[in-house]
C-alpha cells in the first residue's frame, strides 16, 4: 500500500517508540498535523518552539529514551536552535523534525524558508534534508539510531512540504547499517588491566564522574566500585545522581562551585578516574594546576573528549557502563588479596576532615529567607525523590549543592550551554516521561521569565509541575560576578518591574503562592507542593546572597572563595 | 608542523560544508583543500593540508572521524607518499626576458600552455616546495595571475 510522506513519517515515529511529540504547527507541516489524529501519538502543543525542543530534551533526560519534537519551517525551526545546542552540549538524544518549503522553492528565499540544516550543522550530531520520499523511512531510522547510540546527541531532519504530500510504498528498514559510523563501545582489555593496576597501586584515588555515567546507566557499577574499593566520589553538574548523595564517600560536586572537599581531594589525589566527563573549564579551573599529583585515567565513549583539554595517562575509549563492568570483573578477585578499606583509610579520613572543615554552608537568618534553605526544605519535603529541573544561575548552583541527589535521571539542568529558560519546559517534558514523580522546576526570577509562556502548556495538559522561584530581584549570578570582580557595577542585573508571579499563575489558571517570612517557609511550601496541578511558588529570598565556594574563572581549584 | 590528511567521505550534499565548518568552528587552520570523486561514485576523497602541534592534529583527526559522513582519515605526513600540486602562472614576458623565463620553465619541467605578445601562461606540477620555488623564481618577471590547486596525495605502495 502506498502512503504519503506524512503517513510514513508518523508510522516511523511509532515504530521508533515515540510516545509524546512536542510541537507547534505551521504552513510547512500542516500535512503532518493533518495525519496526527489518525495515530496513537500524543502531541503536546507548546507556546514557543524553544519549549518544544527543551521539553523533548527533558523527556529524554528523565526517561533515558529519545525525545522528539516537530516544528514548522523558518522561524519555527530557528526557534529550536538554542534547545538543539543545549542538547548537543549535554549529549542528549533528541530528534528534531522541521518543516521546509517545497523542494522546488528551496534556495529561492521563499516564505518562511531558512537553511536550518546549514544553521544547525555545528550543533547537531548529524542532520538531514529529505529530498525524496523514498529515502524518508531510511533517514528517520538513521536519525533515531544516531541520536541514541555512541555519544548521544540531537539529530535534525528537515522535511520539505511536497515530500510530505507525495505517496510511495512504505518499506520499514529492518536494520541500520552505516559504513561511516561505528561507535566503539567496548573497552580494550589491555587498557582495563592497566587501569585496574593503577587502582590497586593508588593510595589516594578519586572518582570524577560526569554525565556519561548517567547516559550509559553506569551508576550501579560506579557505586559498586566506589563502595567496595573505598574510593571517594565527586561528580560534575551533569553527573549528579550517579552516586548516592547521602553516602560517606560522596564529596559533592567539584569545580567552580564545587565543595571544598571535592576540590581539595582532586588537588591531592594520586589517581583520578574520570568517567564520562570531559574536563570542562568550569570543572578544572586553571588546567595546568588540575590534579597536579595524580595519574589521570579517562574513560569516555567519544575519542575527541580524550586529550582535548588535558593530557591523560591512560585513555580508555568505551561506553562507561561496559568499562566499569569490565573493571569490576577485573578487580573483584583483588578484594580477597587487597584490603582496600585499610589501604585507603588515611585518604578517606583526610577527605572527611576537609569536608568537616568547610562543609557547604550559609549564614542562617531569622528575618530573611536564605535561598539555600529553600532547596534544603524542598529536599526534606520530597525526601530527595523528586525530579528536579533548574534554569541557569545561582539557584542552579544552590540546587546542585543542597539537593542531595540519590538517583540518576532526576536532575535536569543545562550544563554545557547554560541555557536560561531551559528548566520549565524541560520539567513539562519530564512530567510526561515520569507521571509517577513530582517534578519541580527550581528557578530564578530572571530565568523563569524566559519561557514563562509555557504555563499555558502545563495548565492545559493538567500537569503537576511545581515552579519554585528563588526570587532575589536580580540576575543573581551575573550580579555576584559584578560584586566580586567588577566593583559592584550592577549594570542591567537588577530586575525592576517584575510581574506579580502569584497573579501571573492565577491568570494562567494555575495556583500561586508567595513566601516572604522564613517562619512560613515550611508550611506554605508543603501546602504549595501538595496543591494539585501547576503551581508557582514565589519565594522572596535574601537579595544579595552569593554562591560559595567559588573558584574565580581561570584560577586553580584550591583558590576557593569560601563562605 | 604541516600535516597532509587524506579524508574519504560520503559523496553527498553538505559534506564539504561539514568539514570546512568543523575547521572554522574549532579554530583549526586549512592551508589547502582539494576534493575529487573516486571510482566509487558514492565516495569522494579530500586532501587537506593543515598546520598545528601534535595535540591539535590529533584533535583534527578525531573530530573529522567523528563526522557521520566521514568514512576514513589517514594522516599521510609520516607515511611515504606522493604529493602533488599544480599551479597556473601568467607571467609578464618581453623580448628581453622571454628566453630566461623559458629556460626556467625548462629546468623545472613545466609547460607553457598559453602565449601572447607580452605574457606567458605556465603550468607547473610538483610538491609544495617545488611549486614554491617556481613561484619564487618567476616573481621577478612579474606574475600577473596565479591559480594554485590544493595538494593531492597518495600513499606509496612500498613503505619501507
Residues B51 and B22 in one domain: yes
* Distance from the A341 Cα atom to the nearest Cα atom in chain B, whole angstroms: 38
**Closest to A81 in 3D by CA, of A112, A105, A48:** A48
Asked about A483 being catalytic, the answer comes back as no
What ipTM was predicted for this assembly?
0.91
**B70·A180 Cβ contact <8 A:** yes
Q: Which residue of chain A is at minimal alpha-carbon distance from B14?
A: A118
Distance CA A398, CA B110 (A): 71
- Cβ under 8 Å to A: B residues 53-112: 55, 58-59, 62-63, 65-66, 68-71
What's B136's domain CATH number?
A: 3.30.70.1150
Classified by CATH at the fold level, domain A189-357 comes out as Rossmann fold (3.40.50)
pLDDT in tens, chain A (563 residues): 899 999 999 999 999 999 999 999 999 999 999 999 999 999 999 999 999 999 999 999 999 999 999 999 999 999 999 999 999 999 999 999 999 999 999 999 999 999 999 999 999 999 999 999 999 999 999 999 999 999 999 999 999 999 999 999 999 999 999 999 988 789 999 999 999 999 999 999 999 999 999 999 999 999 999 999 999 999 999 999 999 999 999 999 999 999 999 999 999 999 999 999 999 999 999 999 999 999 999 999 999 999 999 999 999 999 999 999 999 999 999 999 999 999 999 999 999 999 999 999 999 999 999 999 999 999 999 999 999 999 999 999 999 999 999 999 999 999 999 999 999 999 999 999 999 999 999 999 999 999 999 999 999 999 999 999 999 999 999 999 999 999 999 999 999 889 999 999 999 999 999 999 999 999 999 999 999 999 999 999 999 999 999 999 999 999 999 98
A302/B66 CB distance under 8 A:
yes
Interface of A with B in 159-188 (CB under 8 A): 178-181
Number of separate domains in chain B: 2
Q: Thinking of the domain A2-169, which architecture would CATH place it in? A: 3-Layer(aba) Sandwich (3.40)
**Known catalytic residue: A449?**
no
- How close, in Å, is residue B111 to chain A by CA atoms? 41
Residue of chain A minimizing CA distance to B64: A304
Residue where one domain finishes, among candidates B49, B75, B101? B75
- If asked whether residues B128 and B113 sit together in one domain, one would say yes
- DSSP class of residue A188? P
Q: Is residue B97 domain-resident?
A: yes
Q: Which of A149, A153, A144, A155 is nearest to A116 (CA)?
A: A155
Choosing among 3.40.50.880, 1.50.10.20, 3.40.50.970, 3.40.710.10, the CATH entry for A371-540 is: 3.40.50.970
B91 shares its domain with B147: yes
CA distance A21 to A16: 12
Full domain range(s) for residue B50: 2-75
A452's grid cell: 514563562
Say whether B145 sits in a helix, a strand or coil.
Answer: strand
Asked if A180 and B71 come within 8 Å (Cβ–Cβ), the reply is: yes
Q: Is residue B160 part of a domain?
A: no
State which of B21, B56, B75 marks the end of a domain.
B75
Chain A residues with CB under 8 Å of B13 CB are 129
The answer on B106 and B59 residing in a single domain is no
- Mark which residues 26-45 of B lie under 8 Å from A by CB: none
Instruction: Return the number of other C-beta atoms located less than 10 Å from residue B95's C-beta.
Output: 8
Q: Do B17 and A121 touch (CB under 8 A)?
A: yes
Residue A465 DSSP class? -
Give domain status of residue B25, yes or no: yes
Name the residue with cell 515504530.
Answer: A15
Euclidean distance between CA atoms A362 and A546, whole angstroms: 9
* Contact across the interface for A129 and B13, Cβ inside 8 Å: yes
Nearest CB among A179, A181, A307 relative to B58 is that of A307
- The domain spans of chain A are 2-169, 189-357, 371-540
- Contact B18/A180, CB-based, under 8 Å? no
Among candidate residues A2, A14, A42, A111, the one labeled active-site is A111
Q: Is A420 a catalytic residue?
A: no
Q: B-contacting residues of A 91-120, CB under 8 Å?
A: 117-118
Amino acid at each position: 500500500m502506498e502512503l504519503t510522506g506524512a503517513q510514513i513519517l508518523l508510522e516511523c515515529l511509532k515504530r521508533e517508540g515515540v510516545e509524546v511529540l512536542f510541537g507547534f504547527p505551521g504552513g510547512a507541516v500542516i500535512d503532518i498535523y493533518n495525519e496526527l489524529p489518525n495515530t496513537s501519538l500524543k502531541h503536546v502543543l507548546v507556546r514557543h518552539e524553544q519549549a518544544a525542543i527543551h521539553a523533548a530534551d527533558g523527556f529524554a533526560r528523565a526517561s533515558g529514551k529519545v525525545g522528539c519534537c516537530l516544528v514548522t519551517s523558518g522561524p519555527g525551526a530557528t526557534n529550536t536552535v538554542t534547545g538543539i545546542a543545549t542538547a548537543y552540549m549535554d549529549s542528549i538524544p533528541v530528534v528534531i523534525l522541521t518543516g521546509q518549503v517545497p523542494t522546488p522553492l528551496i534556495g529561492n528565499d521563499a516564505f518562511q524558508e531558512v537553511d536550518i540544516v546549514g544553521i544547525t550543522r555545528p550543533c547537531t550530531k548529524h542532520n538531514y534534508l529529505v529530498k525524496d520520499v523514498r529515502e524518508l523511512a531510511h533517514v528517520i531510522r538513521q536519525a533515531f539510531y544516531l541520536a541514541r547510540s555512541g555519544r548521544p546527541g540531537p539529530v535534525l531532519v528537515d522535511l520539505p512540504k511536497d515530500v510530505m504530500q507525495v505517496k510511495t510504498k512504505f518499506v520499514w528498514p529492518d536494520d541500520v547499517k552505516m559504513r561511516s559510523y561505528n561507535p566503539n563501545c567496548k573497552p580494550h582489555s589491555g587498557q582495563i588491566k592497566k587501569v585496574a593496576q593503577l587502582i590497586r597501586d593508588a593510595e589516594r584515588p578519586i572518582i570524577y564522574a560526569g554525565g556519561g555515567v548517567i547516559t550509559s546507566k553506569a551508576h550501579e557499577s560506579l557505586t559498586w566500585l566506589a563502595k567496595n574499593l573505598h574510593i571517594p566520589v565527586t561528580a560534575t553538574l551533569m553527573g549528579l545522581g550517579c552516586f548516592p548523595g547521602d553516602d560517606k564517600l560522596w564529596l559533592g560536586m567539584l569545580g567552580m562551585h564545587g565543595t571544598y572537599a571535592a576540590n581539595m581531594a582532586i588537588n591531592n589525589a594520586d589517581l583520578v578516574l574520570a568517567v564520562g566527563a570531559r574536563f570542562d573549564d568550569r570543572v578544572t579551573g586553571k588546567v595546568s594546576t588540575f590534579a597536579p599529583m595524580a595519574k589521570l585515567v579517562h574513560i569516555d565513549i567519544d575519542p575527541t573528549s580524550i586529550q582535548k583539554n588535558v593530557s591523560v595517562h591512560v585513555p580508555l575509549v568505551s561506553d562507561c557502563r561496559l568499562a566499569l563492568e569490565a573493571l569490576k570483573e577485573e578487580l573483584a578477585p583483588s578484594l580477597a588479596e587487597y584490603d582496600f578499606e585499610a589501604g585507603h583509610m588515611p585518604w578517606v579520613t583526610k577527605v572527611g576532615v576537609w569536608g568537616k572543615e568547610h562543609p557547604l554552608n550559609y549564614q542562617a537568618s531569622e528575618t530573611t529567607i536564605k535561598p539555600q534553605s529553600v532547596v534544603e526544605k524542598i529536599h526534606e519535603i520530597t525526601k530527595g525523590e523528586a525530579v528536579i529541573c533548574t534554569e541557569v544561575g545561582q539557584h542552579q548552583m544552590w540546587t546542585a549543592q543542597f539537593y542531595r541527589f540519590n538517583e540518576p535521571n532526576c536532575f535536569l539542568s543545562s550544563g554545557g550551554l547554560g541555557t536560561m529558560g531551559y528548566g520549565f519546559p524541560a520539567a513539562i517534558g519530564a512530567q510526561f516521561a515520569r507521571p509517577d514523580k513530582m517534578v519541580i522546576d527550581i528557578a530564578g526570577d530572571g530565568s523563569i521569565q524566559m519561557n514563562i509562556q509555557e504555563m499555558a502548556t502545563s495548565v492545559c495538559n493538567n500537569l503537576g509541575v511545581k515552579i519554585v522561584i528563588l526570587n532575589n530581584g536580580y540576575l543573581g549570578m551575573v550580579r555576584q560576578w559584578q560584586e566580586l570582580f567588577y566593583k559592584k557595577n550592577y549594570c542591567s542585573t537588577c530586575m525592576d518591574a517584575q510581574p506579580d508571579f502569584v497573579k501571573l499563575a492565577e491568570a494562567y489558571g494555575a495556583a500561586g503562592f508567595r513566601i516572604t517570612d522564613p517562619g512560613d517557609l515550611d508550611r506554605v511550601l508543603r501546602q504549595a507542593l501538595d496543591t494539585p496541578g501547576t503551581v508557582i511558588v514565589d519565594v522572596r529570598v535574601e537579595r544579595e546572597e552569593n554562591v560559595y565556594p567559588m573558584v574565580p574563572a581561570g584560577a586553580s581549584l584550591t583558590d576557593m572563595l569560601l563562605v | 608542523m604541516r600535516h597532509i590528511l587524506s579524508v574519504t567521505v560520503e559523496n553527498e550534499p553538505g559534506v564539504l560544508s561539514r568539514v570546512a565548518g568543523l575547521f572554522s568552528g574549532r579554530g583549526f587552520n586549512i592551508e589547502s583543500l582539494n576534493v575529487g570523486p573516486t571510482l566509487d561514485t558514492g565516495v569522494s576523497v579530500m586532501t587537506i593540508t593543515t598546520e598545528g602541534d601534535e595535540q591539535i592534529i590529533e584533535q583534527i583527526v578525531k573530530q573529522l572521524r567523528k563526522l557521520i559522513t566521514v568514512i576514513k582519515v589517514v594522516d599521510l605526513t609520516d607515511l611515504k607518499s606522493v604529493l602533488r600540486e599544480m599551479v597556473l602562472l601568467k607571467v609578464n614576458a618581453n623580448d628581453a626576458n622571454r628566453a630566461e623565463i623559458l629556460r626556467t620553465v625548462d629546468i623545472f619541467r613545466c609547460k607553457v600552455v598559453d602565449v601572447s605578445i607580452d605574457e606567458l601562461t605556465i603550468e607547473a606540477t610538483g610538491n609544495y616546495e617545488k611549486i614554491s620555488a617556481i613561484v619564487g623564481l618567476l616573481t621577478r618577471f612579474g606574475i600577473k595571475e596565479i591559480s594554485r590547486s590544493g595538494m593531492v596525495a597518495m600513499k606509496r605502495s612500498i613503505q619501507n
